[in-house]
Amino acid sequence: MKAKGSVFKYGDNVDTDVIIPARYLNSSDPKELAAHCMEDIDQEFIQKVKEGDMIVANKNFGCGSSREHAPIAIKAAGVSCVIAETFARIFYRNAINIGLPIIECPGAAREIEAGDLVEIDFDSGLITDVTSGKSWQGQAFPEFMQRIIQAEGLINYINSGKTDSK
C-alpha cells in the first residue's frame, strides 16, 4: 500500500475543534463534514486539498474531543495520510478505526515542509520527501491495520471475516 501527495503543514496541538468545529456536528455526513475540514485553522485548506494530499504536523495532533467526525472529515477531504510527531490517543484510535492512515515519525514531522511532495510506503514504513530528497523510516503498518484501512474501517473489516482470530 502506497500514498503520494503534497503536504499541508501545521504546528503543535492541532485540536479536534479546529479540525471540525462543533457548529458543524449537527451533521455526521462525511461529505458535509469534509466541506468544513480545518476551517478554523486554515480557511484555504478545503479549496486547495487534492485527493491523496497529506497533513504533516508536530506534537499532539488531534487533541481534545473524542469526535470521530475529525478523522472522518480529514479522510473525506481526500487526505491519504497524517504524519505527526505524536497523536492524541483518542484521535489515534479513531483514525485507525475509520481507516485513515496515520504515522508517528518525529523526524519527518519536523523536517517536511508545506507544499513538499511526499511518498509513503506503508509496507515498509518508508517516508520519502521527493521535493527535498530526504527520507525517514516510520513504523511499518502491520498487515491487519492495512486490511482495516483497505476495508475502510474496523466495522467493515470485522464484517469481512478477515480477522486473524475469527
Partner 1 sequence: MGMTMTQKILAAHAGLDQVEAGQLIEADLDLVLGNDITSPVAIREMEKMHTSGVFDKDKIALVPDHFVPNKDIKSAEHCKCVREFACKHEITNYFEVGEMGIEHALLPEKGLTVAGDVIIGADSHTCTYGALGAFSTGVGSTDMAAGMATGKAWFKVPSAIRFCLTGKPSKWVSGKDIILHIIGMIGVDGALYQSMEFTGDGIASLSMDDRFTIANMAIEAGGKNGIFPVDDKAISYMKEHAKKPYTIYEADEDAVYEAEYTIDLSSLRPTVAFPHLPENTKTIDEIKEDIKIDQVVIGSCTNGRLDDIRTAAQILKGRHVAKGMRCIILPATQAIYLQAMEEGLLKSLIEAGCVVSTPTCGPCLGGYMGILAAGERCVSTTNRNFVGRMGHVDSEIYLASPAVAAASAVTGKISGPEQLEKGVIER
Q: How far is CA 122 from CA 34, 93, 101, in A?
A: 24, 18, 9
Among positions 48-87, residues that touch partner 1 (CB under 8 A) are: 59-60, 63-69, 71-72, 86
Sequence-distant (6+) residues with CB within 8 A of 165 are: none
Beta carbon nearer to partner 1, 80 or 94? 94
Residue carrying C-alpha cell 520519502: 128
Cα–Cα distance measured from residue 91 to residue 16, given in angstroms and rounded to the nearest whole number: 8
Question: Cβ 121 to partner 1, closest distance in Å?
Answer: 25
Q: Does 45 sit near partner 1 (CB under 8 A)?
A: no
Name the site residues for partner 1 (rule: CB under 8 A). 13, 15, 17-18, 21-23, 25-28, 40-41, 59-60, 63-69, 71-72, 86, 88-90, 93-94, 97-98, 153-156, 158-159
